Chain A
Amino acid sequence: MIGSYELAVIGAGPAGMKAAITASQDGVRTVVIDSFLQPGGQYFMQAPVEYKPLGQTQTEKTGKELIQQFSSSPLTIFKGTLTWGIFKEENEEEWLIALFGDSETKFIRSKNIVLATGAYDTPIAFPGWTLPGVITCGAALILLKSHRIAPGTRAIVTGTGPLILSVSAHLLEAGVNVLAICESNTILPKGIGHAPTMLSHMHRLKEGAKYMNVILKNKAPYKTGWSINRAEGNDHVEKAFISKVDKKGIPFLASQVEHQVDLVVSGYSLTPNTGLARMIGCEMDYQADRGGWVPSRNEKMQSSISGIFIVGDGAGIGGAENAEIEGQIAGNEIALRTGHINLKTGQERFQELQPRLRNQKRFGKLYGDLFTPKPGLISLANDDTILCRCEEVTLGEVKKAVAMGAKTIGEVKMITRSGMGNCQGRMCEHSITGAIVKALSAELATFKTVGFNSIRPPLHPLPVNFLAEVQKELDVTE
Chain B
Amino acid sequence: MKRIIEGSPLIPKIERGKKIQVIVDDKRIEAFEGETVAAALLTAGITTFRHSQKNKEPRGLYCGMGICYECLVTINGVHAQRACITTIKDGMRIETCKELKL
Question: Which residues does A use to contact B, with CB under 8 Å?
Answer: 35-37, 42, 47-57, 60, 120-121, 130-136, 138-140, 142-145, 147-152, 169-170, 173-175, 210, 214, 235-236, 273, 389-392, 421-423, 426-427, 461-464
Contacts and interface: CB of A to CB of B under 8 A. Distances in A.
A259 B66 CA distance: 30
Contact of A48 (B34, B47, B53): B34
B65 A138 contact: yes
A318 B47 CA distance: 33
A8 to B, nearest CB: 20
B62 A136 contact: yes
Contacts of B66: 35
A174 to B, nearest CB: 5
Interface in B32-58: 32-36, 39, 42-43, 47-49, 52-55, 57-58
Contacts of A132: 47-49, 58-61
Given A52-B15, A55-B7, A135 B61 contact: yes
Nearest to B65: A138
A184 to B, nearest CB: 19
Contacts of B67: 120, 273, 423, 426-427
A148 B69 contact: no
B60 A37 contact: no
B50 to A, nearest CB: 10
Nearest to A121: B63
A144 B64 CA distance: 11
11 contacts: A48-B17, A52-B14, A53-B12, A136-B62, A138-B63, A139-B62, A148-B3, A390-B69, A392-B52, A426-B67, A426-B68
Given A50-B33, A132-B48, A235-B58, A151 B1 contact: yes
B13 interface: yes
A391 B68 CA distance: 12
Interface in B1-41: 1-4, 7-18, 32-36, 39
Contacts of A235: 47-48, 58
Given A134-B62, A138-B63, A423-B67, A143 B12 contact: no
Contacts of A49: 34
B94 interface: no
B92 interface: no
Given A55-B12, A151-B1, A50 B17 contact: yes
B84 interface: yes
Contact of A57 (B10, B53, B85): B10
Contacts of B15: 51-54
Given A50-B17, A53-B12, A463-B78, 11 more contacts: A35-B66, A50-B32, A53-B13, A55-B12, A135-B64, A138-B65, A143-B42, A273-B67, A427-B62, A427-B63, A462-B102
Contacts of B53: 392
A81 to B, nearest CB: 12
Nearest to B87: A37
Contacts of B78: 463
Contact of A173 (B11, B18, B39): B11
A145 B2 CA distance: 13
Nearest to B33: A50
B58 A139 contact: no
B47 A133 contact: yes
B4 A150 contact: yes
A89 B16 CA distance: 48
Given A53-B14, A147-B39, A392-B54, A140 B64 contact: yes
Contacts of B49: 132
B70 interface: yes
A341 B18 CA distance: 48
Nearest to B102: A463
Contacts of A130: 52, 57, 59, 62, 70
B2 A150 contact: yes
B80 interface: yes
Contacts of B8: 173-174
